[in-house]
Amino acid sequence: MSLPLLEGHRGALESCTFCPKLCRAACPVSAADGRETTTPWGKMSDAFLVASGSLPRNESHAALAWACTGCRACRQACDLRNEPAETLFDARAEYFAAGVAPAAVKAHVSRRSERSEDHARAVGSAILRARARGARVDDAADVAVLVGCGVDADDPGDPLADAIVAAAQLVGRPVAVLRGCCGRDSFAAGDRPGLLADASALAASLVGKNTLVVADAECLETLRVAYPRRELALPPTELVHLVELAAAGLPRLGRLGAAAVRYHDACAMGRGLGLYEAPRQVLARVFGAAPAELPRSREWGTCSGGGGLLPETMPEVARTIAESRAAEHAAAGGGIVVTACPRAARNLRKSGVEVRLLVSVVAASLEAASARPALGDGSAG
């Protein structure tokens, strides 16, 4: 094959190419873009024809591999459980290595070092704020926290410090906060050398750690799903999402004021990690009632358009997808959207939706519980 990484996807490529497009309605990108070529069938057929040498390996064919958020909705709709995103992300690596990736991707990758340094600085200052809120942070701790580099600079809260505060409270002892990255952005860009460098640095930082608490659903999906499939190894560390910890300790969460909250199943959290109940249990506990739902939820939850670098490569399409979610939210009654994915939050905010990250909700509820007077003094929680 002229795209060697696709050899392992030959079965999926052939199935999709000869499929009557059963998943076409599931794809948020083709629904917003309106072109046949951006349906899962179109993208997989194109990759198959390039891989088999029938089409040239050039910029215009490469661009189709980035017309995907990695939402896995096509897998949900596929009788064969094919995963076009897995194939397309490997195609990205081939196109990137051949120098035919979209200009926006190349520009994104060229800023990798700068982003890494910015993130390390942001984590350093978040540690100071988390300590000021009572979090115990110790580099030698056997529990590490990965806060994620996808947070939105416009987030009205403080998601990095919130993740540290919440993780330290939930584990009940000091935590080591990692300054690095899982490599999600490099993976989405097709930058395999960057992904390998991030994975190698992360593996080194996890030596001696028993548990890694992850705040960003996309990071955990990368570690649990993308790493093993690409033979990227980590030390034997338990990987857990912060919300899984919170759901396992519901009585520790304090009540926040009643609010009209709607939960958005971020693709990585739902179809990626299979975490549907834990976030709902947390929100029901914190707000005293089950969260409202979008018209399609859980396994059929709809993408926000924020993943897979789509906002960089196809900004208009990413905006159209977010506007569709915003319209569904408004039609269902509006309120605050809570999601576990910072990139989803960022894209939805651009469409005017009020969004809070689940990790910030958990931190606020734990702090409310800490401030709560002890049981028996007549106060309610």
List 10, 21, 115, 133, residue binding ligand SF4 (CB under 6 A): 21
List 3, 5, 26, 175, residue binding ligand SF4 (CB under 6 A): 26
Nearest approach, Cβ of residue 274 and ligand SF4 (Å) = 16
List 62, 74, 101, 181, residue binding ligand SF4 (CB under 6 A): 74
Q: Which is nearer to ligand SF4, 4 or 18 (CB)?
A: 18
List 3, 5, 6, 19, residue binding ligand SF4 (CB under 6 A): 19
Quick check: 70 binds ligand SF4 (CB under 6 A)? yes
Quick check: 23 binds ligand SF4 (CB under 6 A)? yes
292 strand-pairing partners: 262
Quick check: 69 binds ligand SF4 (CB under 6 A)? yes
Size of the site for ligand SF4 (CB under 6 A): 26
Quick check: 80 binds ligand SF4 (CB under 6 A)? yes
Interface with ligand SF4 by CB under 6 A: which range of 69-77, 209-217, 248-256, 343-351? 69-77
Quick check: 40 binds ligand SF4 (CB under 6 A)? yes
Residue type, 221: E
Q: Which is nearer to ligand SF4, 74 or 223 (CB)?
A: 74
Nearest approach, Cβ of residue 320 and ligand SF4 (Å) = 13
The footprint of ligand SF4 on residues 84-103 (CB under 6 A) is: 84-85
Quick check: 72 binds ligand SF4 (CB under 6 A)? yes
List 5, 41, 116, 292, residue binding ligand SF4 (CB under 6 A): 41
Nearest approach, Cβ of residue 28 and ligand SF4 (Å) = 6
- Residues lying near ligand SF4 in the complex (CB under 6 A) are found at 15-16, 19, 21-23, 26-29, 40-41, 43-44, 68-74, 78, 80, 82, 84-85
